[in-house]
Structure 1
Amino acid sequence: MIDNSLYLKALLNNDSKIIKHIYNDNFFKVRAFVVKNKGQQQDAEDIFQKALLQLAVRYKKEKFIIKTSFEAYLFTVCKNLWRRELNKSKIKVTNNEFIEPKGENEDIALAVLEQKRWELFTECLELISENCKQILKLFFAKTSYAKMVELFGYNSETVVRQRVFKCKTKLKELVKKDKRFAALIEL
């Protein structure tokens, strides 16, 4: 197993041997995700390439540390980029106004900002109680309140709603208290 920083340095130094290893070990998962979510092989290739470029650019600018496995981090970056692409295509289809295309550098900067927001969110999620983590993960997965009543043994859906509200409030407080928050909010 290669240290995460070695992967990042390989991307920065264009180390074809390690980059090929990254492709061989990770691309099939990204392709499966993109194809499952309204994409094609070419879309997956583009997203994977953008993700690698984004990681290299960000690592060159700031020597960040990946706290999970490189594979999981790369997959998350790819998922976020693909979701962003899907959202952009929705805007183009439903909005009749002219949208000025963003340059590649601006796109990478926005993707890095989005990734940093995701990292802050997941780090703060780890700081709340185990019960709150479970409740919010189910809530974000759009699990019904009725199902949560059944899973947690609460008395009613009202109790679940109150618990979700309290857990979301606690998570928001942690995010807002973090010193990185001010730099990551939208202007």
Structure 2
Amino acid sequence: MHTSASLRQALRTNREQTLTQIYQRTFPLVRRHVQQHGGSAQDAKDVFQDTLVIFYEKAVADSFVLSSSVSTYLVGISRNLWRRELSRRGQLPLTDLSEEHTQVQEEAEPSAEGHDSLPVLDYVEQLGERCKSLLLAFYYFQQPLEQIAGTLNYGNIRSATVQKFKCLERLRKSVRAVVANALAQ
């Protein structure tokens, strides 16, 4: 699989086996890069899946010329995709809830008030209108930070990014406090 022609032939005749070999050799490199740059193992899987699709489409084209190893080529594509994803996220890595948090949520009793809103939205409401608007625009409506900065009258994208981070930290802090209280009981 060193030449473009032999790689193209291997992908056309035995796609599954060829892609499996490429995956086994290259995914650990991509996972390490993504995790070192603020991503999770799941983020790495998503990025690598997109990378393989891009690679496959290019590799089966007759005009494809491979001037490096397959692994180097794929890691390069993955790095670019991850850089774009970080930019889309406002360069702030997301953190997952721990196992402890997940268990508390599953054990939680339904609200006595009987409304159907998601519990996290109750905490978002407590943050105030500006934080609520910012977080919903970014995470729920997936608006770019440029648009959010303009809509919410922030001076620039950096100001919107910093404010988003502060709002997210306030949200995490309030959720952690509730979880800590629930675990203490």
TM-score between the two structures when normalised by the length of structure 2: 0.45
Q: Which has the larger radius of gyration?
A: 2
TM-score between the two structures when normalised by the length of structure 1: 0.45
